[in-house]
Amino acid sequence: MADYFSISANGNLLPEDVRCRDDIALLASEAEWQVKNYYSEAPLDSRGTALWDSRVVTTGLENLTTNTADPVVMLRYYKADADELTSTAQLAFKAAMQRAIARLIVLNAEREDREADVKTEWRGRRRIEYFGGANGAAPGFPGVVQRMLAPYDARTPNFAI
């Protein structure tokens, strides 16, 4: 089973200072896991609920069940084995996945290189603040990676009225 990101095949997507790190394999596997985890959802449970037959309901919880299925990665064209992707659209998705994982590797490497006590950093005239204190980056999944994979996002949209 082939992963989406290989250091030997996709190392050219990384800057030289990140590519030559000793822990690059760990950073790559962690970044791929982060992408898969962010876009994972538990499959919808279509089993019966108490609303199907209201004549037998006494407490309302008799037929409610929980879904015990494993989460599914909700990215269009995603397959567990990256080598199974063959069509043009699937190869475009694979390239987007590789760019997103490369960007996450760079972001994770920068986060690990920060000094624990530094909360603000100056880069020329720009000031960068790390939220959550010492080594924490801004909360949530990086927006730049979300934009790279937005055309392939197949998660159920959350909305409220």
The structural domains of the chain, with segments of one domain joined by +, span 7-42+69-152
Collect contacts of 83-86 with beta carbons under 8 A, ≥24 apart. Answer: 83/2
State yes or no: pLDDT of 143 exceeds 60: yes
What are the structure tokens assigned to 66, written together?
């929980």
Number of other residues whose CB lies within 10 A of the CB of residue 71: 13
State yes or no: pLDDT of 21 exceeds 80: yes
Q: With pLDDT > 70 as the criterion, what percentage of the chain qualifies?
A: 72
State yes or no: pLDDT of 14 exceeds 80: yes
Q: How many CA atoms lie within 13 A of 111 on its CB side?
A: 18
**Cα 106 from Cα 31, distance rounded (Å):** 9
- Residue 30's pLDDT is 92
